[in-house]
Structure 1
Amino acid sequence: MPRITKEEKARNRQNIVEAAGRLFRAQGIDAVGIADLMKEAGLTHGGFYNHFASKDDLAAEVCNASFAASLGVLEEAVDGGDGPAGSPLRRVVDDYLSAAHRDAADGGCPSASLVTDAGRHNDTIQRSYAAGVEGYLRGFAAELAREQDGEITWRQARDRAVLLLSRLVGAMVLARAVRDVQPELSEEILRTCRAHALDY
């Protein structure tokens, strides 16, 4: 049997991480078996342990990769500066608390889709999740301080960042939880929180 190249091995690993990211977000870490995960990645079940020591190790990597991608979107919004749609944080809030994000069960920000899983799993996964949360808090605080142009202290900016992230994640978790049985309530949660997420 021919050996695969380093590039193929790296590509296979990336396929596993991307497939796991979709499945873990949509179904939760515990609900996804390795066989289903590898099938989604287009690989054989037996190859999993050539890449990861355990599903928890994979979940931690998924958390890191998902937050890196999500924080990249935040950075792009901030780099875009103020525009016709408002400040960068206004655009982030509007995008985050949208029906499109709510309905993207297998994508979007991991802060809402992996929140329950992170709390139920080992320290490795929790550390990855915590690092992502810290990334959001630093980014939000820096932008809040910039937008206030010296009118608030760093501590105040950090406190507001904690409030903002908590509002976004909480609203998204609630909106997703009731979407199918009470869509009007789901829309109300998103609409209300979009309007007031930046109120301090």
Structure 2
Amino acid sequence: MGRVSKAQAQENRERVVAAASRLFREQGTDVSVADVMKAVGLTHGGFYKQFASKEALVAEAAARAFTEQEGIRAQQDDAHAGRRGAARQALIDWYLSDEHRDAAADGCPTAGLAVDIARDGGDAAVHRVYADGVRDFAEWLAVEGEEDGLVCLATMVGALLLARATHGSSLSDAFLHAARQALSVRD
């Protein structure tokens, strides 16, 4: 088989990062390199032509997931132009929805990667990417002049993780509902 062009190699790399981002959020970072490569129809051997290590892929996949999340926040800002509170509330309502609970692969990396990042005592780049993404999300959630972004994010992530863990029971919906109520704007 011949060599691939630089453009094809870059396209393959993007496909690997996108697949890894989804798989890691859905199944955890213990997903093997072989499984990531299989998901995009490439060989395991090709991985090391693209990435220095699995940790490098995890860091890049996490960064991609946080960039996707920034896009969701920007959509809310655009949809609610000039009304920051409305954008924040719309994001909270989406975040604490059945749809988001049931779509871990496309969901929030803060929740989707939390357990794995906490258990992994290793790669500093992965931890830095994760911490930066979490910090940015909390800052976006903060109401102007207040320090509630961390509390809001902790409530959202905790409720989502518990809702996913109890999926199929009435408790799952109750976690989402209770957190939405706790974080709803009160006039």
- Shared topology, TM-score over 0.5? yes
State the one-letter code of the partner of 1:16: V
Match of 1:148 in 2: none
Question: Secondary structure, in 3 states, of the residue corresponding to 1:191?
Answer: helix
Structure 1 residue 79: deviation in Å?
2.5
Structure 1 residue 125: deviation in Å?
1.1
1:178 to 166, 170, 176: 166
Match of 2:9 in 1: 9
Alpha-carbon distance in structure 2 between the residues aligned to 1:52 and 1:15:
13
Structure 1 residue 27: deviation in Å?
1.2
Match of 1:41 in 2: 40
Alpha-carbon distance in structure 2 between the residues aligned to 1:47 and 1:82:
45
Question: Secondary structure, in 3 states, of the residue corresponding to 1:63?
Answer: helix
1:163 to 151, 154, 162: 151
Match of 1:191 in 2: 177
Q: Contact 2:110–2:134 (CA<8 Å) still a contact in 1?
A: yes
Structure 1 residue 33: deviation in Å?
1.2
Alpha-carbon distance in structure 1 between the residues aligned to 2:81 and 2:182:
19
Question: Secondary structure, in 3 states, of the residue corresponding to 2:42?
Answer: coil
Alpha-carbon distance in structure 1 between the residues aligned to 2:32 and 2:151:
35
Structure 1 residue 130: deviation in Å?
0.4
Structure 1 residue 25: deviation in Å?
1.2
Runs of 4+ in 1 over 6 A off after TM superposition: none
Which structure 2 residue ranges, 5 or more long, are not aligned? none
State the one-letter code of the partner of 2:164: R
Q: Is 1:140 the equivalent of 2:141?
A: yes
1:24-54 deviation line (CA, Å, top 9, x unaligned): 1111111x11111100011111100011111
Q: Contact 2:89–2:185 (CA<8 Å) still a contact in 1?
A: no
State percent identity of aligned pairs.
41
Alpha-carbon distance in structure 2 between the residues aligned to 1:133 and 1:22:
18
Aligned length: 182
Match of 1:127 in 2: 128
Q: Is 1:91 the equivalent of 2:117?
A: no
State the one-letter code of the partner of 1:175: A
Query: Cα RMSD between the aligned structures?
Result: 1.8
